[in-house]
A and B are shown apart, each in its own frame.
Chain A
Amino acid sequence: MKLIINGEEVSIKDGLNVNQLLVEHNVKMPEMVSVELNGQILRRHVYETTQLNEGDKVEFLYFMGGGGGAE
């Protein structure tokens, strides 16, 4: 199926849930990512039960803690 991930069309296996998509899309540190599906931010506990469908718009939003301070 085709998904729009971070604004780009991506072809990916059918029938994935959000957890499987994170693996399939090579998201290395899922703890550092918040997932938005069709405009709604998902809580982590629904990743397993949330099935993706053709044409879904997915945004991986990355935690960015830096501010150029002491780090």
Chain B
Amino acid sequence: MALSEQQIERYSRHIILDQVGGIGQEKLLASKVLIVGAGGLGAPAALYLAATGVGTLGLIDDDNVDLTNLQRQVIHHTPDVGTPKVDSAKAKIAAINPDVRVKTYPLRATAANLAAIVRQYDFVIDGTDNFGSKFLINDACWFERKPYSHAGILRFHGQLITVLPGESACYRCIFHEPPPPSAVPSCSQAGVLGVLAGVIGSLQATEAIKYLLGLGDLLTNRLLTYDALTMDFRAVKLNRNPDCALCGPDAAITELADERPPACDLKGQL
């Protein structure tokens, strides 16, 4: 696939990078990234991957845009309140870059549907906001052997790790199973500084691009933690856990299953 003159101009700042070049840009245009959750983390990831010229973006989200989302979910704008997040995000992506094909999945990721979707992509970004989905994505990417970026944000903190299934530590190597629902901070206690989503979601997009281009060192076997108040970034070294119930030699988990604590509904508590 040769680049058009318009594309050479649009992506000129990539093309002049030795590590990207025209060939790298063509690779990106031929790549497919799945973003699970078009919320805080998914928003910046989708915006940058669209501008980057990743040719196909998949978006999974079953939610509508809510006024409380706009403080951090920068892909959704005030007039979008009440519309499906995947539609709102698709419109912004189209406006940024018509080179990008967007596939929308207005559904909740479950054990029944996720593996078949993940299978169609080169890289997956976990932009979800609950432990059930985070474990489900980790497990689906393991069974489909797809690389993915895990991340979480809370209050003034964020963290992320890239997982190459079978090669590097997975989410279950670190956190064996979802915490008991009673221990999860209730929705109204949690809160998050909006810009955290931008910092961490953009790092996830960076990992996707590096993976697609085969550049640099991925954030594997390292959990990068970020404290916005102290401005400390720390990479905690990790190893694959031989006791991992998913990717260890004596794995107990042999098929994809849902693991979902009760949903968190802030509106119900106000």
Q: Residues of A at under 8 Å CB distance from B? A: 6-7, 29, 31-32, 34, 36, 39-41, 43-44, 59, 61-71
B40 interface residue (CB < 8 Å to A): yes
The interface residues of chain A lying within 8 Å CB-to-CB of B128 are 67, 69
Chain B residues numbered 121-143 whose CB sits less than 8 Å from any CB in chain A: 126-131, 134
- The count of chain B contact residues (Cβ–Cβ below 8 Å) is 51
Q: Is the CB of A68 within 8 A of B72?
A: yes
Known contacts A40-B239, A41-B174, A41-B241; A68 and B234 CB within 8 A of each other: no
For the complex of A and B, 9 pairs with smallest distance between CB atoms: A68-B40, A69-B129, A64-B152, A69-B39, A31-B183, A67-B129, A68-B197, A66-B154, A65-B131
Taking the closest CB of chain B, its distance from the CB of A39, in whole angstroms, is 6
Cα distance A14–B127 in the bound complex, in angstroms: 42
List A contacts of B37 (CB < 8 A).
67, 69
The minimal Cβ–Cβ distance linking A19 to chain B, given in whole angstroms, is 16
B41 is contacted by which of A6, A31, A41, A67 (Cβ under 8 Å)? A67
- What residues on A are CB-neighbors of B154 within 8 Å? 64-66
- Do A68 and B238 contact each other (CB < 8 Å), given the known contacts A34-B174, A43-B176, A63-B175? no
Report whether B63 and A67 are in contact in the complex, using a CB–CB cutoff of 8 Å.
Answer: no
Complex: A35 Cα to B197 Cα, angstroms: 25
Within the complex, which residue of B127, B157, B180, B183 is in contact with A67, where a contact is CB–CB below 8 Å?
Answer: B127
Given contacts A7-B234, A31-B179, A41-B238, contact A65 B174 (CB under 8 A): no
Which residues of chain B are near A67, meaning CB under 8 Å? 37, 39-42, 126-130, 151-153, 197
17 A-B pairs, CB-CB below 8 angstroms?
A32-B179, A32-B184, A34-B174, A41-B238, A41-B243, A43-B176, A43-B243, A63-B152, A64-B158, A64-B159, A67-B127, A67-B151, A68-B41, A69-B128, A69-B130, A70-B69, A71-B129
Cβ-based interface call for B236 (8 A) = yes
Bound state CA distance, A11 and B39, in angstroms?
Answer: 42
Instruction: Indicate if the CB atoms of B39 and A29 lie closer than 8 Å.
Output: no
- A-side contacts of B194, CB under 8 Å: 68
Which residue of chain B lies nearest to A7 when distances are taken between CB atoms in the complex?
A: B234
Give the residues in chain A near B183, CB-CB below 8 Å.
Answer: 29, 31-32
Report whether A62 and B176 are in contact in the complex, using a CB–CB cutoff of 8 Å: no
Given contacts A41-B243, A66-B129, A70-B39, 13 further A-B contacts (CB under 8 A): A7-B234, A29-B183, A39-B239, A40-B241, A66-B152, A66-B153, A66-B154, A67-B37, A68-B41, A68-B72, A70-B69, A70-B129, A71-B190
